[in-house]
Amino acid sequence: MVNRLQFYIDGAWVDPAVKKSTPVVNPATEEAMYEVALGSKADVDKAVAAAKRAFETFSQTTREERVALLEKIITAYKARIKDIGASVSDEMGAPLPMAERLQAGAGLGHLTATLDVLKSYEFDEKHNQAVITKEPIGVVGMITPWNWPLNQIACKVAPAIAAGCTMILKPSEFTPTSALIFAEVMHEAGVPKGVFNLINGLGPEVGVAMSEHPDIDMVSFTGSTRAGIDVAKRAANTVKRVSQELGGKSPNVILEGADFVKAVTGGVAHMFNNSGQSCNAPSRMIVPQGAMKEIAAIAKAQADKTKAGDPRADGTVIGPVVNRGQWDKIQGLIQKGIEEGATLVAGGPGLPDGVNKGFYVRPTIFADVTENMTIAREEIFGPVLVIMGAKDESDALRIANDTPYGLAGYVSADTIESARKFGRRIRAGNVNLQGAPNDRTAPFGGYKQSGNGREWGKAGLEDFLEVKAIAGYDAA
């Protein structure tokens, strides 16, 4: 039994300071499955005190000790990977095979990638008569989202452990169970008490208390741009580091001469993966204006193959979106696209055919979308793709960069050289060429209102380190 009515603080499961809970709803059935405890400022204070005490010793551990600890965490995680996948499927609606392979698998991927980085990372660097050393930043508050729960937990916790930091995690209240299992993994692995702490709760209570806490040295936040701005403002009074991975409206540019069938089919499949609930989803497909009808037809064929249904049923490609609030928002934006004159190619408002309950969205594609339309500007965060026409490559680049976001970009061209040249000019933290997937050893993060700081690989470790210059280190 997963312990959902307690928090993990200072190496033990403890009762909340104030008994308060909220139901966790299965988005496929719209039924409450169980209650999860909600924390308060008092719980945050208790967890921060534990983390602060633990930092005194954990920050002084050797690389070898932290390597050994990460190896134990990986072993314990592997033993629970099916449990983690099942909980993600139930709580956020991902099809079960995808939840096990990609959702739970992403957490394992970040743990192993961070272990590889730690084994060879140079914490000290000679510079003339000085030594530049990298030290753990301190106590870290981590606020993670529901859309890729284990991906975001692991790509924060793993480098924090590798750096020698201690931490308090607040996972999303919509997907708490996978995080609670992760806490059990940390306990099973023998993580020293106080190093890892978990409190469930709401942003306006637990998130605010963490952002404002004077003994938290850094906040690592993943979520909406609106919430990220609030975190940064609240953190400013204590001048703590704030690392953020926020929203996106990423361009997928398909240039003249590209293989349209391959690029469009792959782009649509990527957009619909995880029911469109990915911050780096290729949600704006920018194509040669003259090929709009051809490309729309290819996109429609792929949408028609994308079955939205029960996450536990065979053949399901995408499940529901996470909750009623998200469903309502997406429905409103689909309707807005119709009202503003975009061409509805596939999908549309309402539930998919044959579905009468659950927060399911019809895989939807709009063509002939112009830059002033709401669906071209706002992050929809559902299985809704917009296709925009460009007069030429220069126009495609202008449209691609005409967004307040800058998390990701995608380019398909006739040659890799053409894709490289175009990709370098996209203002985004991650650019994928010719359908290539992300590399977990490379940095992940955004420009502009998509955030600051970087996660994954070496850059992810360095986000949790302070830089100290020791002059005269080699003086006689």
Q: Compute φ and ψ for 289, nearest 5 degrees.
A: -55, -40
Which of 220, 181, 3, 207 has the alpha carbon at shortest distance from 88?
181
Of 100, 173, 245, 379, catalytic: 245
- pLDDT for 476 equals 61
**91: which 2 tokens?**
């709580």
* CA atoms of 462 and 162, how far apart (whole Å): 10
56 carries an active-site annotation? no
β pairing state of 130-136 and 465-470 = antiparallel
Which of 91, 87, 80, 85 has the alpha carbon at shortest distance from 104?
85
Is 77:61 a contact under the CB 8 Å cutoff? Answer: no
* CA atoms of 428 and 401, how far apart (whole Å): 8
**32: which 2 tokens?**
């409450």
* CA atoms of 399 and 250, how far apart (whole Å): 11
- pLDDT for 196 equals 99
Mean pLDDT, the chain cut into blocks of 10 residues (476 residues total): 94 98 98 98 98 98 98 98 98 97 98 98 94 98 98 98 98 98 98 98 97 98 96 98 97 98 98 98 98 98 96 95 98 98 98 94 98 98 98 98 98 98 98 96 97 96 98 81
What one-letter code names the amino acid at 304?
A: D
Residue 90: how many other CB atoms lie within 10 Å: 22
Print the SS3 string covering the chain: CCCCCCEEECCEEECCCCCCEEEEEECCCCEEEEEEECCCHHHHHHHHHHHHHHHHHHCCCCHHHHHHHHHHHHHHHHHCHHHHHHHHHHHHCCCHHHHHHHHHHHHHHHHHHHHHHHHHCCCEEEECCEEEEEEECCEEEEECCCCCHHHHHHHHHHHHHHHCCEEEEECCCCCHHHHHHHHHHHHHCCCCCCCEEECCCCHHHHHHHHHHCCCCCEEEEECCHHHHHHHHHHHHCCCCEEEEECCCCCEEEECCCCCHHHHHHHHHHHHHHHHHCCCCCCCEEEEEHHHHHHHHHHHHHHHHCCCECCCCCCCCCECCCCCHHHHHHHHHHHHHHHHCCCEEEECCCCCCCCCCCCCCCCCEEEECCCCCCHHHHCCCCCCEEEEEEECCHHHHHHHHHCCCCCCEEEEECCCHHHHHHHHCCCCCCEEEECCCCCCCCCCECCCHHHEECCECHHHHHHCCEEEEEECCCCCC
**279: which 2 tokens?**
């911050």
Which of 178, 200, 179, 183 has the alpha carbon at shortest distance from 89?
178
- pLDDT for 57 equals 98
165 carries an active-site annotation? no
* CA atoms of 450 and 408, how far apart (whole Å): 9
Alpha-carbon distances of 192 from 189, 222, 256, rounded to whole Å: 9, 26, 56
* CA atoms of 86 and 71, how far apart (whole Å): 24
**67: which 2 tokens?**
């390597």
* CA atoms of 381 and 359, how far apart (whole Å): 13
Q: Compute φ and ψ for 264, nearest 5 degrees.
A: -70, -45
Which of 253, 252, 235 has the alpha carbon at shortest distance from 244?
235
pTM above 0.85, yes or no: yes
What one-letter code names the amino acid at 239?
A: V
Tokens 């002033």 belong to: 372
* CA atoms of 47 and 132, how far apart (whole Å): 32
Of 91, 279, 379, 455, catalytic: 279
26: β partners: 31
22: β partners: 36
